Amino acid sequence: MIRLMVKDSQLAVGETVVFTAHSHWKNIAIPVLIAVVVGAAAALALLQWVPSPQDQAWQRWTIVAVGGLLVLVFSIWPILVWLASTDTLTTRRLISRRGVFSREGKDIPIDRVQSVSYRRTLLERMLGCGTLVVQTAGDSSDVELADVAHIERRLLQVQEIILDEEIPAEGTPGRAEPV
């Protein structure tokens, strides 16, 4: 498993992690489906179209190589990119890290956040994800985190950190239900 992108040594004194998450799993659904389809197609080709290992060796190796290359490019690479991308909320900042070989990061101090909102399409509503829009004071005022899983819970967590208090919400774990 790829380690978390924000290590404890990168946190300030007294700063704690509220959550660390990858983008929604929908981003790896198609790469996984591609791997399954390519694997099934390669198996079909090897068993039905070129069944003789002695007479058709180069054709069989070609099928394996093309299938392997397709899986590498269209399945394994997107999954690695997904694993290497995280969003972390701490008690002092919102941290976004992206990239496998070269890294890109955004750190937004919580005290600079002006407002937090979200956008969701119909599909994103069904899947429970969306785009978290963080508006900050400064030149580049809007920062968008796309495909955030559990978007409403994450929005409440950001607002709780900004307001420095818990926001009672239905279904929020760890909170008592009103009687």
pLDDT of residue 159: 87
Three-state DSSP state, 27: helix
pLDDT category, 39, cuts 50, 70, 90?
A: very high
Per the model's pLDDT, the better-predicted residue between 174 and 28 turns out to be 28
Two tokens, residue 70:
């397709």
Beta bridge partners of 81: none
Residues of the chain with pLDDT > 70: what percent? 86
Output the DSSP codes for 44-89.
HIIIIIS--TTTSHHHHHHHHHHHHHHHIIIIIHHHHHHHT-EEEE
C-alpha triplet 40, 45, 47: angle, nearest 5°: 95
Residue-wise pLDDT tens digits, 6-27: 677 777 788 888 888 889 999 9
pTM: 0.78
Average pLDDT score, the chain: 85
Q: Which helix (H) or strand (E) holds 127?
A: helix 122-127
Q: Which amino acid is at 23?
A: S
